[in-house]
Amino acid sequence: MPTFASPYFLFLLLLLPLLTWWYLRTHKKRAATIRYSNLDLLRTLPKPSNYFSRHMQFGLRMIALALVIVALARPQSGHTEEEVTTEGIDIVLAVDISSSMLAEDFKPKNRIEAAKQVAEQFITGRKSDRIGMVVFAARSFTQCPLTLDYGVLINFLQKVAPGQIDDGTAIGLGMATAIDRLRSSKAKSKVVILLTDGVNNAGEIDPITAARVAKAFGVRVYSIGVGTRGEAMYPVQDPLFGKRYVRMPVEIDEAMLTRVADMTEGKYFRATDRTSLEKIFAEIDQLEKTKIEVKQFTRYRELFVQWLAVALGLVFVEIVLVNTKFRKIP
């Protein structure tokens, strides 16, 4: 939509009605009268071709004056552009896929499925952040390197399931693999979200050593203990009776997970159900906000030349008509 650089000139348009009134008033006073005994013959005569010439000339002047006033107001067309500057965050999800993650204390199915669904919501809610994923049980490996292609990451996340790695809980090794993905990162913030439901019982690296490495590389660890308090039902495949459930105590090394988080200036959370897990990821999302600066500027293109050109064109037309078709003979 056009804008005006000097819109106060548009108030001059209020002069046009006054000029028109003044013209009509003075033109009426100049009119002369001639008395005839019979006007029937005059009514049958055609009107002269220049009957409206004076009014047409005035009209052209008024239109030209209006265009000049608009040109003085400097009409412009603007094109708005935005310059977006982001300070991204690199995040690695370290997800425990040991068999205990199949415990069905997280509705509607089990811990691993709840963790996958909540993590997917977290991923889709991020903007301009590179996110990767590491999975671990008795060993660990990178499921997806740091990427901005969230569709690919979610596709890998959906394929995660217990049984892909030998059973066990190598928390320290899972942390070390995640930290290694962030070692050369240039992001302003480097984060590991560690999600586990057990106690470190495998791997060559213990969690505290991994936490020291994380601190050295400036990586912050948010640790999440997943599991209800007390006991949970675990599915067991019985060769005789098929799938059955056994009640087993939930053992999470909260002291170790808290220490890991404190050492790296992170935070420890305990998720006892799907709702609390969603709240935890929402809090982490708020704690690790990407800084986005938007600078908006507008490029203007001057349009007054076109308006002025039309006004000058009308003045030229009036001059030509006055000296040709509407020429007065003294």
- Express each pLDDT in 49-77 by its tens digit: 555 566 777 788 788 888 888 888 888 87
Encoded amino acid at 199, one letter: V
CA 177 to chain centre: 32
Give the number of residues written for the chain.
330
User: What pLDDT was estimated at residue 282?
Assistant: 94
Q: Which residues pair with 75 in a beta bridge?
A: 4
What is the signed CA dihedral for 320, 326, 328, 329, rounded to 10 degrees?
Answer: 100
Listed by start position, the domains of the chain span 3-29+42-80+297-323, 89-289
User: Which pLDDT value is given to residue 33?
Assistant: 57
Question: For residues 7 and 72, what is the distance between their CA atoms, to the nearest angstrom?
Answer: 9
Which of the residues in the chain have pLDDT under 70?
1-2, 27-54, 79-87, 290-298, 322, 325-330
Give the pLDDT confidence score for residue 258 in this predicted structure: 96
C-alpha span between 173 and 18 (Å, rounded):
88
pLDDT digits (tens, 9 = 90+) for 134-185: 999 999 999 999 999 999 999 999 999 999 999 999 999 999 999 999 998 8
Residue 38 is predicted with a pLDDT of 60
Place of tokens 């199915």: 109
**Pairing between β-strand 3-4 and β-strand 75-87 as defined by DSSP bridges:** antiparallel
Q: Domain 89-289, what architecture?
A: 3-Layer(aba) Sandwich (3.40)
pLDDT of residue 330: 52
Question: Of 61, 51, 49, 67, whose CA–CA distance to 22 is shortest?
Answer: 61
In the prediction, which pLDDT does 293 show? 56
CA–CA distance, 159 with 169 (Å, rounded to integer): 19
Helices (H), 73-200: 111-124, 150-158, 171-182
pLDDT of amino acid 42: 53
